[in-house]
Amino acid sequence: MPFHERFGRAAIVAALAAMLAWPGASAAEGGERETANGASAGKRAAIVIDDLGNDMAGTAEVMSAPVRLTVAVMPFLPTTKRDAQWAHRVGHDVIVHMPMEPLRGKRKGLGPGAITVDLPEDEIRRRVEAAIDEVPYAVGMNNHMGSKATADERVMRIVLDVCKKRGLFFLDSKTNYRSIVAKVGAELGVPVVQNHIFLDDVSSTSHISRQLQLVQKHLADHDMCVAIGHVGIPGKKTAAVLHQATPAMAGEIRFVGVSELAGLIKLP
């Protein structure tokens, strides 16, 4: 089915609603409210793990998590293909973790194929296309860093246009509250899902556990919650908390891929 038939006017309405109501309102959430009178789909949590593709600490533990995750894989790195195939094989969602320019920090740390705001349109288009081609099974995209690029309307219009043509949704990590991703996504008809909680911005087990409890808290008032963690420095700790805590949570909460939240957006 062509992308625009799946994600039409409802996506635009839902994404606009998401812009107006933080915290908690993702595009998908707005979509669900429209069908909330039917059988309850229950509470959904989408846990996303960023920064795969470079054989980072915690990779194997993330793959073997007891619940469904979404694995964000960086393109053009030594284990890009291996990690995407691995995640797909064990039933996690795979998305492209697109390196994008931050407001602060070195461009060098961005990784190969990064989107910087000084690039011309054809080069941005080429880089986004190439990144999607690099990550097998990708059904969506999110930003690695990107506090500068996600606030740049020209850049995001090009990135989201490629996503639309390739049938990918976009998960806005919200590294900048001035992000215009939801606005541009609504205009173009691309489903944009928003991150609510960073799990491991502080790399301690107690902090990560508390952040995971915030997911439960968020779900007391909302139908869905998106949370982002990382492999790398916090990787083993984040994975350990997920292994330890999610089986008990899974009684009340359904752990889903982000694609399920993006896919809730239906035509009226």
- Interface residues with Zn ion (CB under 5 A)? 50-51, 144
Residue whose CB is less far from Zn ion, 50 or 101: 50
Q: DSSP secondary-structure letter at 149? A: G
The residue (of 96 and 160) whose beta carbon lies closer to Zn ion is 96
**Element holding 260 (H helix, E strand):** helix 258-263
Minimum CB separation of residue 233 from Zn ion in Å reads 12
Q: Is 111 within 8 Å of 87 (Cβ atoms)?
A: no
Compute the least distance from the CB of residue 168 to Zn ion, in Å.
17
By beta-carbon proximity to Zn ion, the closer residue of 144 and 237 is: 144
Nearer to Zn ion, 144 or 236 (CB): 144
CA distance 262 to 170: 8
| Dist CA 143 CA 105 (whole Å) | 15
The smaller minimum CB distance to Zn ion, of residues 144 and 148, is found at 144
* Nearest distance, CB of residue 228 and Zn ion, angstroms: 9
Nearest residue to Zn ion on Cβ basis: 144
* Least distance from Zn ion to the Cβ atom of residue 114, Å: 11
Residue 72 CB, nearest approach to Zn ion (Å): 7
Which residues contact residue 122 at a Cβ distance below 8 angstroms, ignoring those fewer than 6 apart?
A: none
What type of residue is 85? Q
Alpha carbon distance 124, 196 (integer Å): 27
| Residue whose CB is less far from Zn ion, 195 or 249 | 195
Which amino acid does the sequence have at 11? A
| Residue 94 backbone dihedrals phi, psi, to 5 degrees | -115, 130
CB of 99 to Zn ion, least distance (A): 8
Question: CA-to-CA distance for 40 and 160, rounded, in angstroms?
Answer: 31
Token pair in block for residue 23: 């915290």
Q: What is the DSSP letter of 109?
A: G
